[in-house]
Amino acid sequence: MLIYNSLTRRKDELKPVEANKIRMYVCGMTVYDFCHLGHARMLVSFDVVQRWLRCQGYEVTYVRNITDIDDKIIRRAVATQQPLHQVTSFFTEAMHADERALSVQAPDHEPRATRHVQGMVEIIQALEEKGLAYQSDDGDVNYRVRSFPEYGKLSGRSPDEMRAGERVAISDAKEDPLDFVLWKASKAEDPEDSKWDSPYGVGRPGWHIECSAMSRDLLGMPLDIHGGGPDLKFPHHENEIAQSEGAFGGTLANHWMHCGPLMVDNDKMSKSLGNFMTIRQVIGTDKTNPEVADYPYHVREAEMLRFFIVRNHYRSQQNFAPDNLNDAQHALDRFYQGLNNLGFEGVEPAVEIDWDSDYAKAFKAAMNDDFNTPVAIAVLFEMLTQANREGDRALVAQMRALGGLLGILQQDPVVYLRSYSRYTRLGSEQSSDSALTEAEVEGLIQQRSEAKAARDFALADQIRDQLKQAGIELEDKPGGLTQWRRI
């Protein structure tokens, strides 16, 4: 299995530290707000990675942390006059709701930074003993970047080319502007639940030290895989390397994986540009309440968003735009129409995959080549085409089983095809509030059947046209049965 390694800048063969075992750590969310589309890409991408590794027989320990102490969390707590734990609990529950909607499996461990503060202090003490950390006049403890010779090896930039990165405040008390904070001295106005006692006084950990402590506490060193979003390579992951390797020697991680950026209409997503979208805004119902963590969502749209993500390679730049979403919805609908046409009902148990088949071999080859999901999905389309042409139900069952390894094609086809989506070609014009309910559709179909029985074909055609205008397509089956789906 080959995986592109951000550290070596090439595809490297996966060679686990311990035979058949994978220790994977992925930087998770800072829980002060709802998850956005960039988070969706990270969540889905690494969910596919861990699914495939398990499928290949590896014993995977997947850790994805929660950052529940941070300046942004403190600001949110102060602004809303809530305790920190209340803010972080709410947005953690909201994140879990997003994961359920996107069929993201829970990690094996989901550590919270606030429960690993002692481990952070121990790393800081080890760094201080080696001359890599110092306490400045303002009470903060900082990392001496220029004292770690390999600093910059992940991002490919030398310290002279760098500036202090995101969340690294520049202070006159620092020896060097590049030095980053390991421990932040508390201020009088800070909330009481953001303060911990330490050998360096009352304060709280810096952002970067949190992941060094949590990954070490749960997985040790070296990790087989360390992953995260594209914005974490520098400074966060660069600083993690400096902390962990500076304190303990050796290698923090053998493989570094970073998913690509997600653009919105070819621009970087940002609140200032007005194109910032949360997961719940994209897939939630029109009545989604931002005051609640859990929320109702459109199942068809939710799977479309996951499919939209996996049909692109995890390292590529991806553009979130209406035309691309409509295309993804149409493509996913084709799979479910194939399942429906070949008589799949309910959620049938997955069949055992025939790995000796040419299709399965091609799928496996794609996934073993740096998780090439676009090629893997192309294989599924080939299977769908042949299955439809030959009426091969067994082949489409194999297609569905392979799709399950990507977290797609597992819904009841009838339920899926009758579900609302604003991203279908005709449905994009209407909101879910104006869309016909299932009861209304069934009622009109019954009226049409009665009109046909009375030989009032003009009325029957009128009802069919009315339904089509509302985004409902009918298919008359032998025996007088009429099936329908949203288009």
Question: Which amino acids are annotated as binding site for ATP, given as ranges?
Answer: 271
Return the closest-CA partner of residue 155 out of 245, 225, 241: 241
Count Cα neighbours of 480 within 13 Å in the Cβ-side half-sphere: 7
Q: Are 132 and 246 in contact (CB under 8 A)?
A: yes
- Helix, strand or coil for residue 217? helix
As beta bridge partners, residue 472 has: 486
Structure-block tokens of residue 384: 């769908």
- Helix, strand or coil for residue 181? strand
Binding-site members are 27, 211, 236, 240, 271
Binding-site members for Zn(2+) are 27, 211, 236, 240
Rounded Cα distance between 297 and 48, Å, is: 22
Type of residue at 196: W
Q: Are 296 and 287 in contact (CB under 8 A)?
A: yes
Rounded Cα distance between 208 and 351, Å, is: 44
DSSP run (H or E) holding 263: strand 262-264
- Helix, strand or coil for residue 386? helix
Residue recorded with tokens 């506490």: 217
37: which residues sit within 8 A by CB, 6+ positions away? 262, 264, 269, 277, 278, 279, 282, 320
Q: How many CB atoms lie within 10 A of CB 366?
A: 18
Rounded Cα distance between 372 and 314, Å, is: 8
As beta bridge partners, residue 323 has: none
Type of residue at 39: H
Residue 124 dihedral angles phi and psi, to the nearest 5°: -60, -40
- Helix, strand or coil for residue 149? coil
Count Cα neighbours of 468 within 13 Å in the Cβ-side half-sphere: 8
